[in-house]
Amino acid sequence: MITKLINRIKRKWTKFLLQPIRVFCFHHVSETYHPLTMWECDWTQTELLKRNIQNLKEQGYTFISLSDAQKKLKHDWFRHEKYAVLTADDGFKSLLNILPWLKERNIPITLFVNPKYIMEDRIGENMQNRLDQSKTKVSSDEIYLKMNDIESMHSPLITFAYHGYEHMDEWKIDERVFTQNLTQCIETMQRDFPNVIPFYAHTYGHAKREYDVILYKQGLTPVYVSGNCNYKDALHIDRELISNEILLKKSL
């Protein structure tokens, strides 16, 4: 009873005194949609995304980094300014269509990546299956950013974070495989990637509480995509997925 009351007061207090921090997630950004290498919910048209980022600015949002957002979420008692954070998952090559534009505008972004597809000549299993079925050959470097792309876009505004060494579905793997995939990801990225920050984005938004314990032990903050996370945890960061479909329906 008392806890319920405290929580209600807390929620009202939060709404009244703290302006929002909105954390967004997108995947592919390109002029046109390519049905073989993209999923509809993963695609955002370049101009539409730019317009929406501009819109957020006009609505008074300031873009900050994920690390700064985390500090604010943890420590702010009062927040008068509205903030927004950009993140992109899977490290697709098409991000090159938006990264220079963001850099010019001083907008930070965090990329959650799988080193396997960036460093090796490999393609994620689901996409590879789809390509095989249609008997189409697409090379890994047409789909994913490669180390030379990462080196050439070197900027403190672009940070990298973990998404597993390869893109595995956490609901289908056991703890041993999860840990192995995470450890290999951390070791590789700490050795070879610039600006790595301690966050882990759950693949497909599929999260398991037991795996979050492993992440916390490694000093990582779990990051979700809203709608797929069915529990609340004070330490996680929830993201709004933005795709073309969503952006056409509403202006952010």
Residue ranges in contact with Zn ion by CB under 5 A? 89-90, 203
C-alpha R_g of the chain: 18
CB of 122 to Zn ion, least distance (A): 15
CB of 225 to Zn ion, least distance (A): 9
CB of 72 to Zn ion, least distance (A): 25
Nearer to Zn ion by Cβ, of 89 and 170: the residue is: 89
CB of 69 to Zn ion, least distance (A): 20
Nearer to Zn ion by Cβ, of 37 and 203: the residue is: 203
> Where do runs of H (alpha helix) occur along 94-249?
99-104, 115-119, 125-133, 140-143, 147-152, 175-192, 209-217, 244-249
Nearer to Zn ion by Cβ, of 90 and 238: the residue is: 90
Rounded to 5 degrees, what are φ and ψ at 150?
-65, -40
Nearer to Zn ion by Cβ, of 39 and 76: the residue is: 39
> How many H-runs (helices) and E-runs (strands) does the chain carry?
11, 10
The tokens describing 157, both together, are 């505004």
CB of 14 to Zn ion, least distance (A): 30
Residue nearest to Zn ion (CB): 89
Nearer to Zn ion by Cβ, of 44 and 203: the residue is: 203
